[in-house]
Amino acid sequence: MAATKANIVRLGHIEFRVTDLERARDFYVDLLGLHETERDADRIYLRAIEDREHHCIALRKAPSAGVGALAFKVASPDDLDILERRFGALDLPMKWLQRGERLGLGPTLRIRDPLGFPIEFYAEMAPVEWLLQKSHLHRGAAPTRLDHVNVLTPDAQKGYAWYTEELGFKCAEYTEGDPPENRIWASWLYRKSTVHDIAVMTGPGPAAHHAGLALGEPMNVIRACDMLASAGYADSIERGPARHGISNAFFVYVRDPDGNRVELYTGDYLTSDPEMKPIRWHLNDKRRQTLWGAPPPRRWFEEYMGVEGMDGTDLLPVSAPLLQAIPDYID
């Protein structure tokens, strides 16, 4: 395969569909602690305290929950041209969003990738005030940045190949089943030097499982849980707090008022060294998901966020996974 040579920098932003913009804003801003940068008629644009650019999450008014797009930042406009040529050669559905079609964003190339996902690539986003050292403005869990997204696809081996061979991602950790298949069940893939920008898991897809927000320290996870509970959102705390085997992160998963899933995540590790070998986990090693803490509830596996097609309206139908999607140790 003649892979693209475009320089993808990191996961840049995600668009969540929400049915009530103000209710969603209260959840993400007043409780989780993101900051509103700007808004228009359809969207509220949010950023985290480490962000130097316009937004990392956009909340968009829509008739149901789900994900409108996942977006990767590339190093320069030339990288967008490289991607356009390569995706054209692969005959992928593709369109350009012009500068300003989304607040703060430069020209954006939107594709439907071979896994069926709406993926956007951009090189430019408007600079904003850096809030990291504006401690008096920090609230809630004070997320530092959008760390990663986790997606579901029927064939996670194919997803691994797309990201590593075509887009130049590296693998930090992966989960595999038994021989003779030895097929990858999930992989944690990165461009920035942490465990992942995207995890690709086996499941009904194309669908999104969660977006991960990085936090400064574990106490911020606890503080978020306390605030959610006291504000009437105790039932939105879905899994954790606990520690992952994969990534080593301390985490909790929460559901927003529409059911979109967000992970609050802190304490993973550096992946910059080129000789680093991926860590292999067996699918039925429950310590890969939860090093300590309660196992995931069944709904954590069964419930997902639909994703939109190229037209940005309807959610795409999903296909059943090729491998067992729920490990044997889950009740």
Nearer to Fe ion, 54 or 261 (CB): 261
For residues 249 to 288, the per-residue mask of contacts with Fe ion, x marking binding by CB under 5 A and - elsewhere, is --------------x-------------------------
Q: How far is the CB of 212 from Fe ion (least distance, A)?
A: 4
> Which one of 27-35, 147-155, 227-235, 288-296 is the stretch in contact with Fe ion (CB under 5 A)?
147-155
Work out how close the CB of 216 gets to Fe ion at its nearest, in angstroms, rounded to a whole number. Answer: 17
> Nearest CA to 55 among 77, 40, 75, 76?
40
148-177: which residues touch Fe ion (CB under 5 A)? 150
| CA end-to-end span of the chain | 41
Dist CA 226 CA 214 (whole Å): 18
Stretch that binds Fe ion, among 47-55, 122-130, 146-154, 308-316 (CB under 5 A): 146-154
In whole angstroms, how close is the CB of 270 to Fe ion at the nearest point? 17
Residue nearest to Fe ion (CB): 212
Instruction: Report, in Å, the least distance between residue 83 CB and Fe ion.
Output: 25
212 makes contact with Fe ion (CB under 5 A): yes
Strand partners, 14: 57, 70
Would you count residue 118 as binding Fe ion (CB under 5 A)?
A: no
The residue ranges of DSSP E strands in 33-93, in sequence order, are: 35-39, 43-47, 57-61, 66-74
The residue range among 57-65, 88-96, 210-218, 227-235 that interacts with Fe ion, by the rule CB under 5 A, is 210-218
Closest CB to Fe ion among 212 and 321?
Answer: 212
Contact window for Fe ion (CB under 5 A) among 31-39, 144-152, 281-289, 323-331: 144-152
Residues 202, 185 contacting (CB under 8 angstroms)? yes
216 exposure class (CB count in 10 Å sphere: 0-12, 13-18, 19+): middle
CA–CA separation, 22 and 28 (whole Å): 10
Q: Which is nearer to Fe ion, 104 or 206 (CB)?
A: 206
H/E segment holding residue 219: helix 218-230
Considering only CA atoms, which of 27, 31, 8, 4 is closest in space to residue 16? Answer: 27
Which residues neighbour 267 within 8 Å (Cβ) at sequence distance 6 or greater?
218, 243, 248, 249, 250
| Closer residue to Fe ion, CB minimum distance, 131 or 325 | 325
Closest distance between Fe ion and the C-beta of residue 243, in Å? Answer: 13
Nearest CB to Fe ion, comparing residues 230 and 248:
248
Return the closest-CA partner of residue 2 out of 158, 122, 168.
168
For residue 140, the minimal CB distance to Fe ion (Å) is 19
DSSP E strand stretches across the chain: 8-18, 35-39, 43-47, 57-61, 66-74, 94-97, 108-112, 118-122, 145-153, 170-176, 184-190, 198-202, 207-214, 237-243, 250-255, 261-266, 279-282, 305-306
Q: Which stretch binds Fe ion (CB under 5 A): 9-17, 54-62, 132-140, 143-151?
A: 143-151
| Residue 199 beta carbon to Fe ion: minimum distance, rounded to whole angstroms | 6
Alpha-carbon distance 323 to 185, whole Å? Answer: 8
Q: How many residues bind Fe ion (CB under 5 A)?
A: 3
Rounded to a whole number of angstroms, the minimum distance from the CB of residue 211 to Fe ion is 8
CB of 125 or CB of 171, closer to Fe ion:
171
Is 104 a residue that touches Fe ion (CB under 5 A)?
A: no
Interaction site with Fe ion (CB under 5 A): 150, 212, 263
